[in-house]
């Protein structure tokens, strides 16, 4: 493979992106943490979604499934990949827990210590306690037309959507880096 072909392939890989992503409607999030609980209980010891406090708001921090995913590019063990469904996920048995992906993530979504936020999510399990948790959009649920990730299924207020970001304007929502807002991005109505 010559240099031009390789560059072209890399470029195509970067452009691939999963069709639907988890979006948050800030005008509906009531900070109940149902999404975090659903992720915790269904990803034993390795929840990939937690809540983070920003000012007075407590918001879920969800992987944005970047088009150009820094975590994939920086992983030295090729544990972070974009799979055949274009979902950025972590291969369990390749992850060495080095934390490179967490440092590379521009949104601070990936935990900077193995297995979740430092506040207690860290697993005591020997294997999973040394790996980085990563949202795989609930790959075991046949995500697509028939199912949504568990965090979206559990959201009682309808704040989490599993949708194509390009569809958001139809619902009068603006997308800010993978999150949606209503008319006032920083003020809840």
Partner 1 sequence: MCEVRVAPSGPDTYRSEYPLQNSGGVCPRGSSLAELLSCRGRIVEPARRVSDRWVPVDLQSACREIIRSAAGKAVTILLDGNVAVEQLTAAAAWCRAWDGASLCLVGAPAEEQMLLGFEGSGAKYLDNDGLSDCDGFVVIGDAFSANPTCASAVFDRRAGEPATPLVVIDAAAGKASKFATHLVALEPGTELGALSAVIRAAGADADVPAAVLAGDDTSVTPSAKVAGAAIAKCRKLGILIAAEYGRCNAWRQIGFLAGRLAEARGGGIAPQTHGANALAAVRLARKLGAVSLASALSSDDTVRVAVGCDVLGMLGLQEPAIPAVAAALPNVTSESAQVVLPVAMAGEIGGTYLSAGARKLRVAPLLPAPAGVPEPAEVVAELARAAGASAPVGAAEALAGEPLGPAEPSAAPAWSDPAPLVLLLGRQAMHAGCGELTAGGSWQAVVQPEAELRISPPDAQAAGIDNLAFVTVRAGANAVRARVRFAPELARGVIVLPEGLPSTRRLVPSSIDPDNDTITATPVAAEVIAGE
Closest CA to 50 of 164, 158, 134, 137: 134
30 vs 176, beta carbon nearer partner 1: 30
Residue 37 binding partner 1, by CB under 8 A = yes
| Among 108, 110, 162, residue whose Cα is nearest residue 137 | 162
Question: Considering only residues 164-183, where is the footprint of partner 1 by CB under 8 A?
Answer: 183
Q: Does 19 bind partner 1 (CB under 8 A)?
A: no
Instruction: Answer yes or no whether residue 36 interacts with partner 1 by CB under 8 A.
Output: yes
Of 45 and 70, CB closest to partner 1? 45
126 part of the interface to partner 1, by CB under 8 A = no
Tokens of 76: 């030295």
- Rule CB under 8 A: is residue 148 a binding residue for partner 1? yes
Subset of residues 128 to 147 that bind partner 1, contact rule: CB under 8 A:
141, 146-147
Q: How far is the CB of 152 from partner 1 (least distance, A)?
A: 6
125 binds partner 1 (CB under 8 A): no
Q: Out of 56, 84, 170, 186, name the contact with partner 1 by CB under 8 A.
A: 56
Phi, psi at residue 119, to the nearest 5°? -70, 15
| Nearest-angstrom CA–CA distance, 185 and 61 | 17
Position 118 contacts partner 1 (CB under 8 A): no
- The residue (of 18 and 37) whose beta carbon lies closer to partner 1 is 37
Q: How far is the CB of 179 from partner 1 (least distance, A)?
A: 16
| Residue written as token pair 């109505």 | 189
157 binds partner 1 (CB under 8 A): yes
Give the binding site for partner 1 (CB under 8 A). 27-28, 30-34, 36-38, 40-42, 44, 51, 56, 119-121, 141, 146-148, 150, 152-158, 160, 183, 188-189
């Amino acid at each position: 493979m010559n240099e031009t072909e390789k560059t072209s392939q890399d470029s195509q890989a970067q452009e691939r992106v999963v069709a639907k992503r988890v979006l948050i409607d800030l005008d509906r999030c009531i900070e109940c943490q149902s999404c975090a609980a659903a992720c915790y209980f269904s990803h034993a010891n390795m929840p990939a979604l937690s809540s983070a406090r920003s000012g007075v708001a407590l918001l879920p921090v969800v992987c944005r499934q970047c088009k150009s995913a820094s975590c994939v590019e920086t992983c030295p063990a090729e544990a972070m990949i974009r799979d055949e469904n274009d979902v950025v996920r972590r291969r369990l048995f390749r992850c060495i827990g080095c934390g490179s992906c967490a440092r590379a993530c521009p949104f601070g979504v990936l935990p900077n210590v193995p297995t979740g936020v430092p506040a207690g999510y860290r697993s005591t399990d020997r294997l999973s306690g040394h790996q980085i948790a990563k949202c795989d959009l609930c790959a075991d649920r046949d995500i697509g037309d028939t199912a949504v990730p568990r965090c979206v299924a559990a959201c009682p207020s309808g704040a989490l959507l599993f949708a194509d970001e390009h569809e958001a304007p139809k619902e009068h929502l603006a997308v800010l880096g993978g999150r949606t807002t209503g008319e006032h991005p920083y003020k809840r109505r």
